[in-house]
Structure 1
Amino acid sequence: MNSIAAFALLLSYLLPYVSPKTFPLLSVLSLAVPILIVVNVVFLIYWVVLLNKKAILSLVVLVLGISHVTSLYKISGKSTEDTTDGISLLSFNVRSFNRFSWIDSKTIPQDISAFVRSESPDIFCAQEYYNNPDTDFSQYQYKFEDFNNDNGELALVVFSKYPIVNKGSLHFKKTANNIIFCDIAIQKDTLRIYNVHLQSHKISSNTNRISQEDSQKLLKRIQISFERQQEQVDELIEHMRQSPYRNIVMGDFNNSAYSYVYDKIVSEGLQDTFKEAGKGFGKTWEFDLFPVRIDFILVPEEYEVLEFKNIHQELSDHYPIFSRVQL
């Protein structure tokens, strides 16, 4: 059992380099990497602590994938006392402000508005945004929203305290998912902000609902969504390479830090702010089985990450993430 778990984790290290279109079934394994890491840690503890024996197999595999381990859990974080230093970034999938009463609360739009005011980020990227009359983001002078679904109800939005000098959308076809961008003038510099919402797997956070679903249909749907994510990220990277400015990518990737699409984006000279300054599991999506991190703030490698935090407020099925960086 230990050998099987170790081999599966070792195999998962190859996933960032394997195209979902080439091996879609193998790509699905990326969703199980957190479980594989935990299982191998349990085996390590079992051999060393309980049986007082050497646990070479799991130890070697975990050490080889130390970057995978730190993507799952960070022992210590980083923060700065000077909250005026650098620029602050917030990304949050607001799930249309609880439009269909997923959460038992009538004040979610007002609560999210109050939360954003309290954090007061310089740039706020929202996914699954819905024009709700009970929201108030009037503290932002600049805004760009883009609706990419047939009924024109859900949008990606960028709010900014700094002037937006250019904006646009990648306009993905036949999907409500999308990527938008804004060029924002900050002091003497201009940054390009990408707000990302990659193809959804449409997986419920409730394990009971997952168990009731046909496993073959679920697996096929996930394979197709992985392939579409690859196409969307290919478009994003082509667009990023034509950018005249430094790029910041943030949003809901609908995929983990162990995936092909995450690795492709990070490889464009970006760093994961959670890995640099985060703490704990970095959970960004509510899921019963294990902590899931599918929302990211990626900034240029030459920027100093001053702070990162996950904010565990139950205002959506996602948790907002916040980072402060020095340009």
Structure 2
Amino acid sequence: MKNLSFIDKVLYLLNSLAATLLLLSYLLPFISPSVVPVFAILSLFVPFLLIINLFFVIYWLLKLKRQFLISIIVLIVGWLFTPPFYKISSNNSSLNSDLKVMSYNVKAFDLFTKSKDSSNFSNGFDFISDKNPDILVIQEYYKSKKNKLSFPYKYIKLRSKKSQYGLAIYSKYKIVNSGSLDLDSKGNNIIFADILKNKDTIRIYNVHFESLRIKPNEENFGEENSEKLIKRVSNSFKKQAEQTNIFLAHEKLWTGKKIISGDFNNTSYSWLYHQISDNKKDAFIEAGKGFGKSFSYWFPLRIDFILTDKDAIVNQFLTLENKNSDHFPILSKINWKD
């Protein structure tokens, strides 16, 4: 520190803070939000902290200063023990017998957005049809006559008899069983459908965990009072913890092949993800590439997931660009060993 200029001393203090926060974030998967809900907020900023610490490593190396060690050590610990922030290589193989699964938070198909050129406004329906998934799971589904989706089988669960909003599972394969976990939430739920593919019965979960109701494009995330914002987000994380326990209890009763997909409203550095992904494969980690960014924000947030059981083979994972929602659809090709 003695040989540093005043500006570098300030930067090193900021570097130390960023490194400490990132190191603390590694504890997130092991601490339930129901215990310390405020701490869970840190999971949303892990991607940002990773980028900041990488910046400091580069900065100190260019200046030939040993201060780079604090961030490089913390980043190495994260690389060894946490899910990857960025995937360099991908798997892009394919078999005719693959099950092609797409998960998409469609934001009510953006049906309420006014478009100047209505002739080019497809609400994402044509986009989905072009991708031709075998299984399509939709969050923030909206029941509308404009719906152009064509599948022989479907299971749709609306929030109530009077509501037009809910969750949906579309399938090219016969649905032999379906149901809803009926979470105690105004806008979020978990549903499932058991599909029959050849001789296999595969359970498809469509999950939409408690929303944080953050509007990133608005000042202060859309909340004038930051204390109210923190309290509201903390309460949402507590509710996510409750919903996670409900899901895990339900999932434990199914011992067959399964796919869990949907909008987690949390990152891969969270307790929620750690609990649900335990003993499973993350399709992005298995076959994806890049950041896997699934939420439209200025830094990479991967909050939409496709998980499979350990016996599955993930042959492809893609994050698809489509501007009809604040989420990007994700698609994976999945198979199982005979």
TM-score band by shorter chain is: over 0.9
Q: Which residue of 2 aligns with 1:128?
A: 140
Per the normalisation by structure 2, the TM-score is 0.90
Tell me by how many angstroms 1:325 deviates: 1.1
Q: Which residue of 1 aligns with 2:8?
A: none
Candidates 307, 311, 316, aligned match of 2:325 = 316
- How many residue pairs match? The answer is 323
C-alpha offsets along residues 190-243 of structure 1, whole Å, 9 cap, x if unaligned? 111100010001001314362652101110010000000011110000000001
* Gap runs ≥5 in structure 2: 1-13
Q: Which residue of 1 aligns with 2:34?
A: 21
Q: For structure 1, which segment, 107-116 or 234-243, has the greater mean C-alpha deviation from structure 2 after superposition? A: 107-116
Does 2:265 match 1:265?
A: no
Counterpart residue identity of residue 303, structure 1: A
Q: Which residue of 2 aligns with 1:225?
A: 236
Candidates 267, 281, 292, aligned match of 1:282 = 292
Counterpart residue identity of residue 78, structure 1: N
C-alpha offsets along residues 26-74 of structure 1, whole Å, 9 cap, x if unaligned? 1111111111101110111111123364722211111111167753211
Does 2:241 match 1:195?
A: no
Q: For structure 1, which segment, 100-109 or 253-262, has the greater mean C-alpha deviation from structure 2 after superposition? A: 100-109
Label 1:53 to 1:222 Cα distance change in 2 as closer, same or farther (>3 A).
Answer: same
Tell me by how many angstroms 1:105 deviates: 6.2
| Distance (whole Å) between structure 1 residues aligned to residue 267 and residue 198 of structure 2 | 34
Counterpart residue identity of residue 124, structure 1: L
Label 1:23 to 1:122 Cα distance change in 2 as closer, same or farther (>3 A).
Answer: same
Label 1:104 to 1:85 Cα distance change in 2 as closer, same or farther (>3 A).
Answer: farther
Counterpart residue identity of residue 284, structure 1: S
Q: Which residue of 2 aligns with 1:96?
A: 108
Q: For structure 1, which segment, 92-101 or 6-15, has the greater mean C-alpha deviation from structure 2 after superposition? A: 92-101
| Distance (whole Å) between structure 1 residues aligned to residue 96 and residue 84 of structure 2 | 28
Q: Which residue of 2 aligns with 1:35?
A: 48
Q: Which residue of 1 aligns with 2:130?
A: 118
Q: How does 1:157-172 map to 2 (within 5 A)?
A: 157-172=168-183
Per the normalisation by structure 1, the TM-score is 0.93
Q: Which residue of 1 aligns with 2:63?
A: 50
Tell me by how many angstroms 1:107 deviates: 6.3
Q: Which residue of 2 aligns with 1:184?
A: 195
C-alpha offsets along residues 130-167 of structure 1, whole Å, 9 cap, x if unaligned? 112222112x1110000125741111000001110000
| Native 8 Å contact 2:109 2:123 kept in 1 | no
| Structure with the greater alpha carbon radius of gyration | 2
Q: For structure 1, which segment, 142-151 or 242-251, has the greater mean C-alpha deviation from structure 2 after superposition? A: 142-151
Q: Equivalent residue of 1:156, what SS?
A: strand
Q: Which residue of 2 aligns with 1:175?
A: 186
| Native 8 Å contact 1:284 1:310 kept in 2 | yes
| Distance (whole Å) between structure 1 residues aligned to residue 222 and residue 149 of structure 2 | 39
Tell me by how many angstroms 1:102 deviates: 7.2
| Native 8 Å contact 2:223 2:229 kept in 1 | no
| Native 8 Å contact 1:110 1:135 kept in 2 | no
- Cα root mean square deviation, aligned: 2.0
| Distance (whole Å) between structure 2 residues aligned to residue 257 and residue 292 of structure 1 | 9
Q: How does 1:142-153 map to 2 (within 5 A)?
A: 142-149=153-160, 151-153=162-164
- Identity across aligned pairs (percent)? 40
Counterpart residue identity of residue 200, structure 1: S
Q: Which residue of 1 aligns with 2:9?
A: none
Label 1:211 to 1:167 Cα distance change in 2 as closer, same or farther (>3 A).
Answer: closer
